[in-house]
């Protein structure tokens, strides 16, 4: 089955992270390493982990000097995992907790598929929320946009175009052939681009018998639509435009532009800062169409814009 390195980037989720790591360590097929990359947390994450897992050499804690976003954290963790030697890298979010046999089911499925001559690049677990509902939007097909599987399709073993990082097991050979995720994406869309690229090294499969509990705090209702959090849409739209243009062609750009205009129009009354929010979305589209990663609207910059600074 091979040597497994699990990787977890984190930022200020100490308690959830511990539940995640404990879940990784309870696997029926043991992981060789748990590589945690801390994105400059301020809640004592590093100290807590080093104290809790002091006697466990499998758990490694790497502290970054600044927050590089989820993309930067996954990239650094993946780099460390590959450098240390492994056959598979198991990606997961810090708000996830795999069932004890989640890894075993993924590996057994990989062996079965390869035994049939299938070139497997990655396999991903079924994500289930705390309410027991299947989170079907984590996997699907990609045309010019994401087309998630329907809940009824999330059964058995299903080939998909994309999978979120949560609970995704990627072959070392695919990572060596196609590279790690792009750190400049920062957040949102990075897993889609990564999947489309990794998928050129083999097929990606949803394995519904492998289950991950995904607590998914980032998607609590209304959190990302508040003015203070709206900066995240910059990365979501910019990255969507870039990845669609690269992996599906520039014919997708007019469709995405119309989708951006529709998003602005349909949510106009709900925008807390209408002018700034609309300009943010349009800037995101322009930067994505130009493949320009040099001038992102980060959280700090967005705060300055809301306070009156120019774009």
Q: Residue 217 has what pLDDT?
A: 58
Q: Residue 220 has what pLDDT?
A: 46
**Ranges of the chain with pLDDT below 70:** 1, 217-225
Nearest CA to 35 out of 2, 77, 75 is that of 77
Q: Residue 221 has what pLDDT?
A: 42
Q: Residue 270 has what pLDDT?
A: 82
Distance of alpha carbon 33 from alpha carbon 210, whole angstroms: 20
pLDDT in tens, 79-96: 999 999 999 999 999 999
The reported pTM is 0.93
* C-alpha distances out from residue 89 to 2, 74, 86, Å: 10, 11, 7
Q: Residue 78 has what pLDDT?
A: 97
Q: Is 199 helix (H, G, I), strand (E, B) or coil?
A: helix
Distance of alpha carbon 221 from alpha carbon 219, whole angstroms: 6
Q: Residue 223 has what pLDDT?
A: 57
Query: What residues contact residue 247 under an 8 Å CB cut-off, 6+ apart?
Result: 142, 193, 196, 197
Q: Residue 310 has what pLDDT?
A: 86
């Amino acid at each position: 089955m091979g040597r497994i390195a699990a990787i977890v980037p984190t930022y200020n989720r100490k308690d959830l992270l511990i539940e995640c790591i404990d879940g990784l360590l309870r696997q029926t097929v043991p992981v060789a390493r748990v590589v945690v990359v801390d994105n400059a947390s301020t809640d004592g994450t590093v100290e807590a982990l080093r104290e809790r897992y002091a006697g466990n050499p499998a758990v490694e804690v790497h502290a970054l000097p600044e927050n590089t976003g989820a993309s930067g954290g996954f990239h650094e963790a993946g780099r460390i995992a590959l450098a240390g030697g492994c056959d598979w890298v198991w990606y997961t979010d810090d708000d996830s907790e795999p069932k004890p046999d989640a890894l075993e089911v993924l590996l057994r499925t990989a062996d079965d598929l390869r035994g049939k001559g299938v070139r497997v690049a990655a396999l991903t677990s079924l994500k289930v929320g705390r309410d027991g509902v299947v989170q079907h939007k984590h996997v699907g097909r990609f045309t010019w946009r994401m087309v998630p599987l329907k809940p009824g399709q999330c059964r058995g073993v299903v080939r998909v175009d994309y999978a979120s990082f949560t609970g995704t097991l990627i072959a070392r050979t695919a990572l060596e052939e196609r590279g790690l995720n792009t750190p400049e994406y920062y957040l949102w869309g990075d897993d889609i681009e990564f999947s489309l690229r990794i998928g050129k090294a083999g097929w990606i499969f949803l394995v519904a018998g492998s289950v991950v509990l995904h607590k998914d705090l980032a998607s609590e209702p209304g959190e990302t639509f508040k003015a203070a959090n709206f900066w995240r849409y910059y990365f979501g739209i910019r990255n969507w435009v870039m990845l669609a243009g690269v992996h599906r062609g520039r014919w997708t750009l007019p469709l995405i532009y119309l989708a951006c205009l529709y998003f602005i129009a349909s949510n106009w009354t709900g925008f807390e800062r209408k002018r700034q929010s609309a300009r943010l979305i349009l800037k995101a589209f322009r930067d994505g169409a130009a493949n320009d990663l040099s001038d992102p609207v980060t959280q700090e910059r967005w705060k300055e814009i809301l306070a009156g600074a120019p774009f």
